[in-house]
Amino acid sequence: MIKNNGNGEYRVLGTRPVRHDGADKVTGKAVYTADVQLPGMLRGFILRSPIAHGRIKSIDTSAAKTTPGVHAVITSADMPDVGDKVADLGEGAVNLKYLSGNVLAQDKVLYKGHAVAAVAAVDIHVAEEAAKKIVVEYEELPSVTWVLDAMQDDAPLLHEDLHTDSMGAKSENPSNICTHMHFEKGDIEDGFAQCDIVVEREFKTASVHQGYIEPHASVGDWNEDGRLRIWTATQGSFTARQQTAEVLQIPISDVVVTPCEIGGGFGGKIAVYLEPIVGMLSKLSGRPVKISMTRADVFEATGPTPGSYMKVKLGATSEGKLVAGEAWLAYDAGGYPGGMIGPGCMCVFSCYDIEHAVVDGYDVCVNKPNTQAYRAPGATQVAFATEQLVDEIAKQIGMCPLSIRQLNAAKEGTVRVDGPKYPPVGLVECLDALEDSDHWKSTLEGPLRGRGIAAGFWFGCGLKSCATVTVNHDGTVNLLEGSTDIGGSRTSLAMQLAEVLGITSDDVNPMVGDTDSVGYTDVTGGSRVTFATGLAAYTAGRDLQTQMISRAAEEVWDCSPDEVTLESDGRFTHNDESKTFKELAAQLFKHGEPLVARAAVSPENPTNGFGVHVADVEVDPETGKVTVLRYTTIQDAGKAVHPSYVEGQLQGGTVQGIGWALNEEYFYHDNDTVANASFLDYRMPTMLDLPMIDTIIVEAANPDHPYGVRGVGETPIVPPPAALANAIYNATGTRMEQLPMSPPVLWKQLQTESTEA
């Protein structure tokens, strides 16, 4: 008999133990991919396209190949032809032709920085010098980087065989528009007819990069037994394995991926770039090969998030009830199809109960690096639009921006524009917490100072996770799981296992396994790990307890299993006798089989993470600089397993959003090459740019997790640009329609408006 955990008071959850990998991380011992050293290891360098768009007419690698110290040189000619096959990578499907083409360009280069050849040599300097000797003849083609330009009929075509897909129907003519999506709810004409106020604006957002401090890195060792060993910086060792196997056209079982410690991902380290290259270089050279991208390569050749054009219209009654919404969204996909337009369409009105809506979304190829997921991919852009329109309506009818959101907030039963209804969600609770917060209640005084709020949403995935638990002599346990740990998740998982077993977090040794050691586990992304892999850890714990009940009945108390009770604190009792988990485990160790438990889960409900932010700013009209004076992030976590790391996700995502809002963008030269591929000119926030980021964690329990956990990682990046835009409006009266709201842009807009006034 198993008793439930009762009233939700926990011994371990909600505490703040030091993370298990902490000592390694603060002493420099933790091994990140670039730290890996193998005997005989070569270093690799990648030659990249200097132009934004062109046909590759020829590549002559002979001078490179004969350079002393060079062991292998490859181009796409050395890679197998993968054909036009779509592979399901767990978090989404990918056309292998595009994936392979992005790894090493085939007949065309589609952006400046597109990888064209790779050299493996005795050291990085020899490899780089040799790469410069490779002669590539290009036929340069006209290029396009603005999404609306790329949609025109006469735009330069990136893929001659790409036709627009409209849910299975293909356009007659080739196009840069990969996909058109369309959603409807209610009757839009009827809806707008009922509105007393309608606002409509056009918005543009620039490409921004995930900005992880660790550049991509991979080590490949094509072993003499035919197995390819890969060490890599990845958010998902299983997807890296599958992608690498598919691109190299070798059996998945011939590839083993060890996920090293990883220096940030945010969605940008899910697609493979280097793994197939180091694999092939290792195969040809007979030596292990390591490649670490340069920072410029990271900016020029790895996924930024889509830049966008958005036209959004919102209508309401004079009482502030939102009635109708219409959105026309064009997101750039970069060089290859497959951008984030789907989630953009689904999220544009996702925070509100709006009866009538129409959304059109376009995924468009442009000569920029291939877009990749970036923390709640596609949602930040649309929030920037919609949250400003909500504020604009509130202003016009004289309603408080918080009240209008409370009136219209999505809740259980609200139907989203793509169809599904929300289960119980926490947006109302977050708005109420905002209303109660010190920040909201405080007064902001001074000229050119303003306050803005915004709401945001991300789905939060389930997907697949496995866990294995083994028990030691002394009753401590080992937790083997497959979720690469980007932010301390191994400890949150250990805590959930500790909670269910009735032991401490320190009694659990969590370990992230490689693809040979642990069951298939989907990526660390999608805000899923604490939720889904946590569920796996919990379920494995329950499996362990079931085994122990049976063993205790047989070996300790000589009774039937239903005469053994598992108490809510993890003790096992029979009549008057009671044993803690550790006592019983140690006793069982003496006789019979060792204790091993396991779980494989695939929870399907999204965890639906809502958040609201409040920002206070001061604008300097002489420079256009926006200073963030105070910021509070409020989000529903369901249940905060380790509050410090939940706070950390809220703060980190918020600051990425602040950077996105105020400074970050890709600048282009006239020839469509990136002008600012360095941390100096791609201006991410430093600690001098920011105040403390206050956080309020709301806990509206998720019914689909035993501890109520909701995914939290992504939602924090969604509201900041909108909250800051609303604050800028409050401070200056100017409405910002483009991101970033950087000093020159804001300054010019203020100047223009004051001239006109």
Partner 1 sequence: MANKRHVSTTINGEPKEFLCAPHESLLEVLRDNLGLTGSKEGCNNGNCGACTVILNGRPVDSCLVLGVEVEGAEVETVEGIADRNELHPVQECFLEGAALQCGICTPGFLVASKALLEKNPDACEHTIRYNLAGNLCRCTGYDKIVRAVQDAGARMAESN
Partner 2 sequence: MVTVFIPAQLKEMTGGVTSVEVDASNIRQVVEQLEQQFPGIQQRLCDGDNLRSGLQVSIDSVMTSRGLIAKVQPGNEVHFVPAFGGG
Contact residues for partner 2 (CB under 8 A)? 86, 88, 91-93, 166-169, 179-184, 210, 265-268, 270, 342-343, 345-346, 372-377, 418-423, 458-464, 523, 525-528, 602, 604-606, 713-714
Cβ-based nearer residue to partner 2, 384 or 459: 459
| 723 sits near partner 1 (criterion: CB under 8 A) | no
Residues 6+ apart with CB under 8 A from 244: 228, 230, 255, 257, 272, 275, 276, 279
The residue assigned the tokens 């550790």 is 582
Q: Which residue in the set 52, 99, 312, 655 belongs to the binding site for partner 1 (CB under 8 A)?
A: 655
In degrees and rounded to multiples of 5, residue 264 shows phi and psi of: 95, 145
Does a cis peptide bond (omega within 30 degrees of 0) precede residue 740? yes
Which residues in the 479-508 window bind partner 1 by CB under 8 A? Answer: 486-488
Query: Does 294 participate in binding partner 1 (rule CB under 8 A)?
Result: yes
- Helix, strand and coil content of the chain, in percent to the nearest 5, comes to 30, 25, 40
The interaxial angle of helices 489-501 and 534-551, nearest 10 deg, is: 30
Q: For the segment 686-705, give every residue that binds partner 1 (CB under 8 A).
A: 686-688, 690, 692-693
Q: How far is the CB of 301 from partner 1 (least distance, A)?
A: 15
Name which of partner 1, partner 2, none residue 179 binds, using a CB cut-off of 5 to 8 Å depending on partner kind: partner 2
Residue 295's identity, in one-letter code, is: R
Question: Please, what is the minimum distance in Å from the beta carbon of residue 426 to partner 2?
Answer: 16
Q: Are strands 477-481 and 465-471 parallel, antiparallel or unpaired?
A: antiparallel
Nearest Cα neighbor of 17 from 483, 503, 715, 478 is 503
- Candidates 3, 25, 57, 421; binder of partner 1 (CB under 8 A) is 25
One symbol per residue from 554 to 593: x for binding partner 1 (CB under 8 A), - otherwise; what is it? Answer: ----------------------------------------
Report if residue 18 touches partner 1, rule: CB under 8 A: yes
Residue 566 partner contact from partner 2, partner 1, none using kind-dependent CB cut-offs of 5 to 8 Å: none
Q: Are strands 197-205 and 308-316 parallel, antiparallel or unpaired?
A: antiparallel
Q: H-helix or E-strand containing 596?
A: strand 596-601
Q: In sequence order, which residues have a C-beta less than 8 Å from that of residue 447 and are 6 or more positions away?
A: none
Task: Indicate which of partner 2, partner 1, none lies near residue 644 (CB less than 5 to 8 Å, by partner kind).
Answer: partner 1
With the CA atoms of 130, 136, 141 and 143 taken in that order, what torsion angle do they form, in degrees rounded to the nearest 10?
-10
CB of 652 to partner 2, least distance (A): 13
Query: What DSSP element (H or E) covers 702?
Result: none
Residue from the set 5, 10, 31, 95 that interacts with partner 1 by CB under 8 A:
31
Strands (E) in 61-150, as ranges, are 70-75, 86-88, 93-95, 108-109, 115-121, 135-140
Query: Is position 647 an interface residue for partner 1 (rule: CB under 8 A)?
Result: yes
| Contact (CB, 8 A) for 649 and 529 | no
3-state secondary structure 625-682: EEEEEEEEEEEECCCCCCHHHHHHHHHHHHHHHHHHHHCCCCCECCCCCECCCCCCCC
Closer residue to partner 2, CB minimum distance, 230 or 271: 271
Q: Which is nearer to partner 2, 426 or 541 (CB)?
A: 426
Site residues for partner 1, 196-255, by CB under 8 A, read 210-215
Closer to partner 2 by Cβ: residue 75 or 524:
524
In the complex, least distance from residue 251 CB atom to partner 2, rounded to whole angstroms:
21
Contact call for residue 675 and partner 1 (CB under 8 A): no
378 binds partner 1 (CB under 8 A): no
Q: How far is the CB of 494 from partner 2 (least distance, A)?
A: 23
373 binds, among partner 2, partner 1, none (CB under 5 to 8 A by kind): partner 2
Nearer to partner 2, 484 or 632 (CB): 484
292 is a site residue for partner 1 (CB under 8 A): yes
Q: Are strands 322-334 and 356-365 parallel, antiparallel or unpaired?
A: parallel
CB of 678 to partner 1, least distance (A): 6
Nearest approach, Cβ of 156 to partner 2 (angstroms)?
A: 25
Return d(Cα 565, Cα 584) in angstroms, integer.
13
- State which H helix or E strand residue 376 sits in: none
* In the complex, minimum distance from the CB of residue 272 to partner 1, in angstroms, rounded to a whole number: 19
Q: Is 652 in the site for partner 1 (CB under 8 A)?
A: yes
Q: Which of 4, 6, 7, 26 binds partner 1 (CB under 8 A)?
A: 26
Query: What's the min distance (Å) between Cβ of 416 and partner 1?
Result: 29
Q: Within a 13 Å sphere around the CA of 317, how many CA atoms are in the beta-carbon half?
A: 9
User: Which has the closest alpha carbon to 458: 358, 525, 537, 403?
Assistant: 525
If one counts every other C-beta atom within 10 angstroms of the C-beta of residue 188, the result is 18
Contacts of 681 (CB under 8 A, 6+ apart): 667, 675
Residue count of the chain? 757
- Minimum CB separation from partner 1 for residue 300, in Å? 14
- Residue 32 binds partner 1 (CB under 8 A): yes
Q: Is 678 in the site for partner 1 (CB under 8 A)?
A: yes
DSSP 41-84: -EEEEEEE-SSSSEEEEEEE-HHHHTSTTEEEEEEGGGSPP--S
645 binds partner 1 (CB under 8 A): yes
Among 145, 654, 726, 738, binds partner 1 (CB under 8 A): 654
User: Binders of partner 1: how many residues, by CB under 8 A?
Assistant: 60
Q: In the structure encoding, which two tokens stand for residue 692, read together? A: 């403390």
Structure tokens at 456: 């945001």
Part in contact with partner 1 (CB under 8 A); list of ranges 31-39, 136-144, 351-359, 590-598: 31-39
Which residues form the interface with partner 1 (CB under 8 A)? 16, 18-19, 21-23, 25-32, 34-35, 37, 123, 125, 210-215, 261-266, 292, 294-295, 486-488, 642, 644-645, 647-649, 651-656, 678-680, 684-688, 690, 692-693
